[in-house]
Chain A
């Protein structure tokens, strides 16, 4: 099978990369959430993640590949799907038979993508600069401070909140949908769906909570 040429192959690739991002998101959330309780532990984990060669040179490139693959394939499919109906309907009642979130994955995805741009600008680029360009001295205690500093600006916190709402919408359809894509539709599906929907609410709400928590603390 070709994961990148046939319709089903692409669908499966979309689902697998999406599921991979869900796993990453869970891990990212867990670490961020720790910052609410303990600056010290947060610093320790961040230092580990930032300097462990396995994380830096194996997991990080895989993650970046996963993200780029996911949204590139998303755009490729969107273009292909639009071409499949060359002449549009005069009247098309999409809401009659499908949810808004399922019909607008490309838009929720696009918002998440712009957020990733901002997020990279906020954290990843400074981090790369610190470690690999300017090669500043190791400071295992700087992470908490750097992070809370960013959340002082309410404009940034606002943008984060909007992005997380769109992430919730994206996952609200995407997470459960990826099981169907890889062929899982059985007696467990309704439980999987419940779990996926709970996840799509809890994780983004949790991220919003963390952002607000540090914002309020910084006032």
Chain B
């Protein structure tokens, strides 16, 4: 496959940045998108051009590092995949592919296609945990029976890999899907009930402070989420938040 790539280049967080065009030839349809980027970078290094910085780690869809906004969609045109799982066969020979960093006020660009997603870490630190006494007489989690239905829902929510595709896709750059997955994962389990009130209040407060937008229920996040996190979680978070605020 021969392709034209339009890539966002930005030297550092302060630099202005612009789109650059690159041509690339002989790409195998079986390559992953990141492998294609590797080939491009080899080519750029050979030409004495600074290679394109992009995030990646596991390259098997579990770490959430690979980002990229490809042809107007987070992680590209395929569904339920991350960029590392996106294959070049989803594109056609001769295509022009636009590649941009995830864009949100709360995700500033570090360089080229890499963005700083530590806002998610801070939201998580604000309440995405359960406090357990580890002094030696910790109760075995399996000793507490949990209804299959609840366990499944909690597990579905826990599948969120914190990639930020939801924020990147949302026209409002809202982080509600991510935060609601993290809230739900605990809200559904007895272990999470103890701190439920503080958790949702603190996580939402942190989310707001980071400058994420407001949810208008367009549903873009759910469609683009590589892990299929459901909008149901946002409704659950809203309920948790309402009840928590009524409790004061």
Contact = CB atoms under 8 A, between A and B. Distances in A.
Interface of A: 1, 6-12, 77, 80-81, 83-94, 96-99, 102-103, 105, 173, 177, 180-185
B214 interface: yes
Interface in B205-241: 205, 207-208, 211-220, 223-224, 231-232, 234-239, 241
Given A90-B8, A94-B220, A173-B217, 6 more contacts: A10-B214, A83-B211, A84-B212, A84-B214, A96-B73, A185-B236
A102 B218 contact: yes
Contacts of A85: 103-105, 171-173, 213
B235 A180 contact: yes
Interface of B: 6, 8, 19, 69, 71-73, 77, 98, 100, 103-106, 109, 169, 171-174, 176, 204-205, 207-208, 211-220, 223-224, 231-232, 234-239, 241-242, 244-246
28 contacts: A1-B246, A6-B205, A11-B214, A81-B216, A83-B105, A84-B173, A85-B171, A85-B173, A86-B105, A88-B103, A89-B69, A89-B103, A90-B100, A91-B69, A91-B72, A92-B72, A92-B171, A97-B169, A97-B219, A98-B218, A102-B216, A177-B216, A180-B234, A181-B215, A181-B217, A183-B238, A185-B231, A185-B235
B235 A97 contact: no
B213 A6 contact: no
Contacts of A90: 6, 8, 19, 98, 100
A15 B184 CA distance: 22
Contacts of A11: 214-215, 238
A133 B234 CA distance: 50
Q: Taking chain B's interface residues, is the majority helix, strand, or loop, or is none over half, making it mixed?
A: mixed
B241 A1 contact: yes
A7 B204 contact: yes
A96 B165 CA distance: 14
B174 A6 contact: no
Given A84-B173, A87-B103, A97-B169, A8 B218 contact: no
Contacts of B19: 90
Nearest to B208: A7
A92 to B, nearest CB: 5
Contacts of B242: 1, 8, 12, 182-183
Given A90-B6, A180-B231, A97 B204 contact: no
Q: Which 4 A-B pairs have the closest CB atoms?
A: A1-B245, A93-B72, A84-B213, A185-B235
Contacts of A181: 215, 217, 238
Given A12-B242, A86-B105, A88-B103, A180 B217 contact: yes
A181 B241 CA distance: 11
Among A10, A81, A85, which residue has the most Cβ atoms of chain B within 10 A? A85
Contacts of A89: 69, 72, 100, 103
Nearest to A99: B218
Nearest to B200: A8
Contacts of B207: 7
Contacts of A88: 103
B174 A182 contact: no
Contacts of B211: 83-84
Nearest to B97: A91
Most B CB contacts (10 A, CB to CB) among A8, A86, A87 go to A8
B238 A182 contact: yes
A87 B31 CA distance: 31
A105 to B, nearest CB: 6
B53 to A, nearest CB: 17
A34 B208 CA distance: 47
Contacts of A77: 214, 216
A182 B242 CA distance: 8
B105 A81 contact: no
A183 B208 contact: no
A94 B72 CA distance: 8
